[in-house]
Amino acid sequence: MIHIAPSILSADFLRLGEQVQEAENAGVDRVQVDVMDGRFVPNITFGSSTLRALRPITKLQLEAHLMVEPPEDFIERIAHGGADTIIVHQEATPHLHRCVQHIHSLGKKAGVALTPSTPAAMLTEILYDLQLVLVMTVNPGFGGQEFIAETLLKVRQVRELIRARDMNCEVEVDGGINIETAPRCIEAGADVLVAGTAVFDHKDGVAAAVRELLAVCGKIA
Ligand code: DX5
């Protein structure tokens, strides 16, 4: 099963709730909220208040992608804000295992994100505890960037690590995902596609964009 996770980073912030509901009606099961602190990445975006605003208006799973350091300082308030899944960057803390434990203690699903230069092997000691691995296919911080094709090998490696452990862990890709790059990611082993620009900047609107992505993925999955 392939999942599309629209990233609200590229949404029209004056119509955020409306666009999230459009995505929900189009059949996605989640949206991704990119939390950026201007320190781990050179950009500042949303916090727990955006999650609190979205929580009551949608039944979608809310995935919080924490591009912050240290993530330890944010996990609690992001969880209480309404996130269902909290994704922390392997590069942002020396205490990744403790972060994942903390996320689980709050009743949330835990994911770990890897920037393009971080090898899949950095997951081996934490993978058992994860519900999701996010392979960044761009350098984190901004939407609308060019897909980094070299990251496809890492997608394969992560999928193989999961298969070898007979685990049920999602492989998510994020950055430059569109109708051209999506099938390549699926073929490499991804089953969750984060898409911001391809969804919210689509000429025919959110629903058409989601349908187009699912159709293209359906040919591969
Ligand atoms: C990068 C962000 C983006 C965003 C999606 O830090 O995480 O990848 O979600 O961006 P697009 O789909 O516009 O490349």
List b or e across 209-219, with b for residues whose CB sees 16 or more CB atoms inside 10 angstroms: bbebbbebbee
Q: Give residue 153's pLDDT.
A: 98
Over residues 107-135, the pLDDT tens digits come to: 999 999 999 999 999 999 999 999 999 99
Average pLDDT over every residue of 187-193: 97
Instruction: Give the start-to-end residue ranges of the domains of the chain.
Output: 3-216
Q: Give residue 220's pLDDT.
A: 45
pLDDT at residue 218 is higher than 80 = no
Q: How far is the CA of 175 from the centre of ligand 1 (A)?
A: 4
CATH (residue range 3-216): 3.20.20.70
144 Cβ below 6 A of ligand 1: yes
Over residues 93-109, the pLDDT tens digits come to: 999 999 999 999 999 99
Q: Are 114 and 122 in contact (CB under 8 A)?
A: yes
Q: How far is the CA of 201 from the centre of ligand 1 (A)?
A: 12
Over residues 25-44, the pLDDT tens digits come to: 999 999 999 999 999 999 99
Check: pTM over 0.85? Answer yes or no: yes
For ligand 1, what atom is nearest to the CA of residue 145? 14
The pLDDT confidence band at residue 217, using thresholds 50, 70 and 90, is: confident
Mean pLDDT value across the chain: 96
Which token pair is 178?
């569109």
The residue whose C-alpha atom lies closest to atom 4 belonging to ligand 1 is 143
Question: DSSP readout, the chain?
Answer: --EEEEBGGGS-GGGHHHHHHHHHHTT-SEEEEEEEBSSSSS-B---HHHHHHHGGG--SEEEEEEE-SSGGGTHHHHHHHT-SEEEEEGGG-S-HHHHHHHHHHTT-EEEEEE-TTS-GGGGTTTGGG-SEEEEESS-TT-SSPPP-TTHHHHHHHHHHHHHHTT---EEEEESS-STTHHHHHHHHT--EEEESHHHHT-TT-HHHHHHHHHHHHHTT-
Q: Give residue 172's pLDDT.
A: 98
Q: Give residue 221's pLDDT.
A: 45
Over residues 46-84, the pLDDT tens digits come to: 999 999 999 999 999 999 999 999 999 999 999 999 999
Among this protein's residues, is 174 annotated catalytic? yes
Identify the residue whose tokens are 């790059």.
181
Among this protein's residues, is 34 annotated catalytic? yes
Q: Residue 68: which of 132, 140, 13 has the closest Cα?
A: 140
Which among 174, 191, 201, 204 is annotated as catalytic?
A: 174
List b or e across 101-135, with b for residues whose CB sees 16 or more CB atoms inside 10 angstroms: ebbeeeebbbbbbbbeebebeebeebbeebbbbbb
Q: Give residue 219's pLDDT.
A: 52
For ligand 1, what atom is nearest to the CA of residue 198? 12
